[in-house]
Amino acid sequence: KQEVTQIPAALSVPEGENLVLNCSFTDSAIYNLQWFRQDPGKGLTSLLLIQSSQREQTSGRLNASLDKSSGRSTLYIAASQPGDSATYLCAVQSTGNQFYFGTGTSLTVIP
Amino acid sequence: KAGVTQTPRYLIKTRGQQVTLSCSPISGHRSVSWYQQTPGQGLQFLFEYFSETQRNKGNFPGRFSGRQFSNSRSEMNVSTLELGDSALYLCASSPAGTNAYEQYFGPGTRLTVT
């Protein structure tokens, strides 16, 4: 069974810093990996989707990379802002079309 | 396009009752998945429906069931509610049709069982 781990569980940084969130998974047979953000009590907002054949995706200040062979993905956030404060979740779509989520990284950006 | 909608947004039920939650996917999307999110267990996959058929199922007891209608709208039912069923229930829709696809989530239904 696929297991997804996110480190760190919580992160607090001053505004303007660049930061990296990590996601690891145990089974490299995946279709894609998706990063989401979740604000308290709300649903998930899709940030980036990386297909299994891709190495990275970029959107604005966000860059996500994927290394299938090592079972790792990173989400890089440049020049962090207080509005980036949220929980960030990664999810892998495994063969069989099931999605497995990590437990998330809670990010606080201090003004 | 309108996003994924879920109704109701909040629900309070008593232990032993049953509840039905509804999800309307993005227009044109044929796959609907349901998840349970709790502080202790995180996001756990319940089941996925595609073209009115359950295509995948997570590891939840039979008290949790679902269905999908011809217009792709989906409902999830939980019978004989337990205190541990208190959670945020999220649905996600996808265009599907191929093996790899992106999921779009609704705002969730917050269920409290007392």
pLDDT at position A94 is: 82
pLDDT at position A96 is: 66
Q: pLDDT band for A9, please (50, 70, 90 cuts).
A: very high
Q: Does B105 touch chain A (CB under 8 A)?
A: yes
Residue B100 pLDDT exceeds 70: no
d(CA A40, CA B75): 24
Q: What is the mean pLDDT of chain A?
A: 93
d(CA A111, CA A80): 10
pLDDT at position A98 is: 78
Q: Does B60 touch chain A (CB under 8 A)?
A: no
Residue B83 pLDDT exceeds 90: yes
- Which positions ≥6 away from B29 have C-beta within 8 Å? B72, B93, B94, B95, B96, B104
pLDDT at position A70 is: 95
Q: Do B110 and A41 touch (CB under 8 A)?
A: yes
Q: How far is B48 from chain A (nearest CA, A)?
A: 8
Q: Do A42 and B108 touch (CB under 8 A)?
A: yes
Q: What is the mean pLDDT of chain B?
A: 92
Q: Which residues pair with B43 in a beta bridge?
A: B37
**Strands B10-13 vs B109-113: parallel, antiparallel or unpaired:** parallel
pLDDT at position A39 is: 94
